[in-house]
Amino acid sequence: MSPSIIPVSSPIDPHSHDDLDHFVSIIVEAFSTTALTTAFIVNNDNTPPPYPSALVDSPRRHQHFAQGIIDSAESGAELVQAGNWSAIALWEGPSYQGKPFIESKARPGPLLAEWRAKVMDSKKTYLSSPADPSRIRPFYHLSFLARNPSAPKVSGSIAAVIEPFLSRARDEGVPAWLEATTKQAASVYEHFGFRLAEEITIGKGHIDSAGWPREGGEGVTAYAMIYDGHLA
């Protein structure tokens, strides 16, 4: 793609097996060392030592991500790509009726259950409805964002899969929300106008910062972020 061409996002067909598989494969590769993912898999599987474990490999991470992403696509989430698959995103809009990816596991391990509870508490605090504080207001949720590690970097591709949805949020008068898994990712989101709502740490005393079991470990920290400057 010519550097002079500004990429635009294209929707991914939720009925295309090849496109969905490509989407999942990018997520698996982009999140290959994500501490939160490692923690959930090891905890759910009761992965035995030594750690790090070769059992948490690419096929196991694919299994972790695939069904939840496919279910989201089939339930009306919007999957988009830009720059010839240089960047991808999965958004759940205010009218989304399916399960968020975070809720896709039927039998969550203790760490995933802790994560779910803490994220929900954070949403109740920062996404409460002005009309009824006991309810969560409509919002856009950026469930996944990834740059494709196996594709050429295309300038503007990240913006192309983020900005249109933030524009919708502004037009509709609703916030946007995400959970960033690293400080580096949080910095990227701040560039687009998100602000830190809350740091969320799970597994404190039981896992290290990379997500592997360790007694007395500091736990894994992620960053709940909100886009709401247009609502002030």
Q: In the 8-state DSSP scheme, what is residue 148?
A: -
User: What's residue 10's pLDDT?
Assistant: 97
Give yes or no for residue 2 having a pLDDT over 70: no
- The number of helix segments (H) and strand segments (E) in the chain equals 6, 7
Structure tokens at 197: 């709502």
The residue among 103 and 94 whose pLDDT is bigger is 94
For residue 102, the model assigns a pLDDT of 79
Going from the C-alpha of 193 to that of each of 163, 196, 229, the distances in angstroms are 10, 10, 8
In whole angstroms, give the CA distance from residue 31 to residue 73: 19
| pLDDT-derived band at 33, boundaries 50, 70, 90 | very high
Structure confidence at residue 47 as a pLDDT band (50, 70, 90): very high
Model confidence pLDDT, tens digit, residues 165-223:
999 999 999 999 999 999 999 999 999 999 999 999 999 999 999 999 999 999 999 99
111-134 mean pLDDT: 95
Asked if the model's pLDDT at residue 232 lies above 90, the reply is no
- 105 or 91: whose pLDDT is higher? 91
Q: Is the model's pLDDT at 17 over the cut of 60?
A: yes
Q: Which two tokens stand for residue 107?
A: 């039998």
Q: What is the pLDDT of residue 131?
A: 87
- Give the C-alpha separation, 143 to 177, whole Å: 9
Q: pLDDT at position 106, please?
A: 72
Q: What is the pLDDT of residue 4?
A: 56
Q: Between the CA of residue 67 and those of 18, 24, 74, 84, 86, what are the distances in Å?
A: 14, 9, 10, 24, 22
Count other Cβ atoms within 10 Å, centred on residue 111.
22
Residue 1: per-residue pLDDT: 46
Mean pLDDT of 65-90: 96
DSSP output for 86-119 = TEEEEEE-TT--S--GGG--SS--HHHHHHHHHH
CA 204 centroid distance within chain: 21
Predicted TM-score (pTM) of the model is: 0.94
Among the ranges given (51-65, 105-119, 151-165), the one the predictor scored with the smallest mean pLDDT: 105-119
> Quick one: average pLDDT of 104-130?
92
Contact by Cβ (8 Å): 101, 88: no
Exposure on the CB side of residue 56, measured as CA atoms within 13 A: 29
Least Cα distance to 205 among 117, 111, 121, 119 occurs for 111
